[in-house]
A = this chain, B = another copy of it.
């Protein structure tokens, strides 16, 4: 049993609209041969706004991998501390109550990792366990909740802190003019988020109770979603084949729901989906025969914040916490997709008090 408590989301202050991004990219690539297609695709992302770590005119300049990674460290730690303090406070907990810290983040690289910096900065117990993960991209949010669930299976009295640090704007590559690169420049947003997973819910607790978990790798798909690692840092790559992945993973999700709960996916009360993009969500709706209402909050997350990578599922979950329509014991699914092609999936119920 593991209860995912209310997440904290922190968005940087630099708001950028999709209209502004169209202007920015048109200025950067004034003679792009496919500009009309690109502009049409950007306007079709269903992203209205995103929040970026730096003002947009700084985002589009590349000051070097070292500079960017230092900025990642400075701001990542600062916002991770704020998000952690808020998540602890929401649960009336102190750092000593946490047994494991998971930090997921695919937009910078630190050694020692942020888990270690957090243990020092906030006076966690020296024996607090660390689980820092960089390589699972957008699947990492649900992945982390699934690993936290397993940890509470091993230690039922434990509490796990999850922190997601994603500054995709630090991966803006001003010399990448490929269509997929320009679209992703307009899709990903920055955010730092945190939540606490409790092994033993207490009287009065509210949250998402994870019941069952599963993982999935679609084989031979390493070109679908990937990084090229260069002297200029990580270059995000997306192959159009990735669109085939949902039709493959949807039956896996359907079978999982059916096996664990003996119902069809379209009988679930809610869905918390990684907002990989509009097309991914359309494919989920179509392949699982979902009612639009059940994925409304996932679409809102994409519209309001863009794809904030591993943090998306925490953002959607946070919107679910605010939703007036949820009822105790409502059954839902959470799923996130990332490089590999990897999917991490769980089902759970609302515990309301």
Contact = CB atoms under 8 A, between A and B. Distances in A.
Given A65-B229, A126-B216, A135 B132 contact: yes
A294 to B, nearest CB: 24
Interface in A142-200: 143, 146-147, 150-151, 153-155
Given A136-B132, A215-B127, A339-B116, A111 B227 contact: yes
Interface string A99-110: 000000010011
Contacts of A147: 131
Nearest to A215: B129
Nearest to A237: B111
A328 interface: no
A111 B339 contact: yes
A282 interface: no
Nearest to A220: B120
A33 to B, nearest CB: 26
A215 B116 CA distance: 12
A125 to B, nearest CB: 9
Given A120-B217, A219-B126, A133 B132 contact: yes
B215 A66 contact: no
A204 interface: no
Contact of A110 (B115, B117, B135): B135
A245 to B, nearest CB: 12
Contacts of A64: 231
Contacts of A226: 111-112
Nearest to A216: B126
A277 to B, nearest CB: 18
A109 B108 CA distance: 11
Contacts of A69: 229
A44 interface: no
A217 B119 contact: yes
A95 to B, nearest CB: 12
A113 interface: yes
Contacts of A65: 229-231
A161 to B, nearest CB: 14
B127 A216 contact: yes
Nearest to A113: B135
A240 to B, nearest CB: 17
Contacts of A206: none
A222 interface: yes
B217 A340 contact: no
B128 A215 contact: yes
A222 to B, nearest CB: 5
Contacts of A134: 109, 111, 134-135
A158 B45 CA distance: 42
A35 interface: no
Contacts of A266: none
Contacts of A137: 111-112
- Which residue among A113, A227, A234 has the maximum number of chain B CB atoms within 10 Å of its CB? A113
Q: Return the 4 tightest CB-CB contacts between A and B, nearest first.
A: A113-B135, A153-B154, A116-B340, A112-B339
5 contacts: A113-B340, A120-B217, A126-B219, A130-B340, A131-B133
